[in-house]
Amino acid sequence: MEQKRGLTGNALKLIAIAAMTLDHVLWILFPGYQYQWWLLALHAIGRITAPIMWFFIAEGYLHTHDFKKYALRLLLFAVVSHFAYAFAFGIPFLPFSKGEFFNQTSVIWSLFWGLLTIRLFDSKLQTWLKFLLLAPILAVSFPSDWSCVAVVAILYLWGKRESFAKRMLWMMVWTAVYAIVFFFCIDKVYGVLQLCTALSIPLLRLYNGRRGTWKGMKWFFYIYYPAHLVVIGILRLLLLGNVGVMIGA
């Protein structure tokens, strides 16, 4: 069989994992919103992770053989990851207990709702009803990392699948929405930094449509994501004590 050039899904996921780990470790070593140029550059690299996650939720929906199992697996993953995420960054396990609404749980919660939103819009329900049902989905996913923007970005990555350019355009449109909210509500510099999701576009362009030879990548990510957060949480306690290091903590 001829080997297609480019990056496999496994390769892209490994890049996302590496960028994510770097970004998360930086929040512990340099807590808060610090403005050293090299630190901003490293956090910019971390912005490539979310778009790759969004992209493969859309791809996963297109290629899954059992949607129910896929959705239940992602829901379980989101629940486990919630506790790992909260522990990692010093966020209360009980959402909203400190009156915060941002970053109350991990991005996996939004990935799960993004998957269900694709299913909703791929159904035969009337359009008005789809948008009516979308409202509570956006509300329930709002408190997660990347908020409900991740849900809508996933929907457009699926809905515009006939054109890579349109997929990337709409991904950046919704990233810009998140960046604007971040700019005005949290931190101006880090708000602009969110636009570095654009760094993922050349990587996604190289995707060759193949999963890769290693079939264990799916389970590796399901294990690695919460496990690395637990390690980061231990590092936080050792270096900083029991203090929160991100908005929402």
Q: How distant, in Å, are the alpha carbons of 31, 47, 127, 139 from that of 39?
A: 11, 13, 45, 33
CA 245 – CA 229 distance, rounded (Å): 13
Helix (H, G, I), strand (E, B) or coil at 124: coil
pLDDT at 5: 83
Cα maximum dimension of the chain? 57
Of 226, 186, 171, 208, which is closest to residue 58 (Cα–Cα)?
171
Per-residue confidence (pLDDT) for residue 29, from 0 to 100 = 96
pLDDT of residue 138: 98
* pTM of the model as a whole: 0.96
Q: What is the pLDDT of residue 247?
A: 79
Q: What is the pLDDT of residue 171?
A: 98
Q: What does the pLDDT read at residue 231?
A: 98
pLDDT of residue 3: 55
Name residues of the chain where pLDDT drops below 50: 1-2
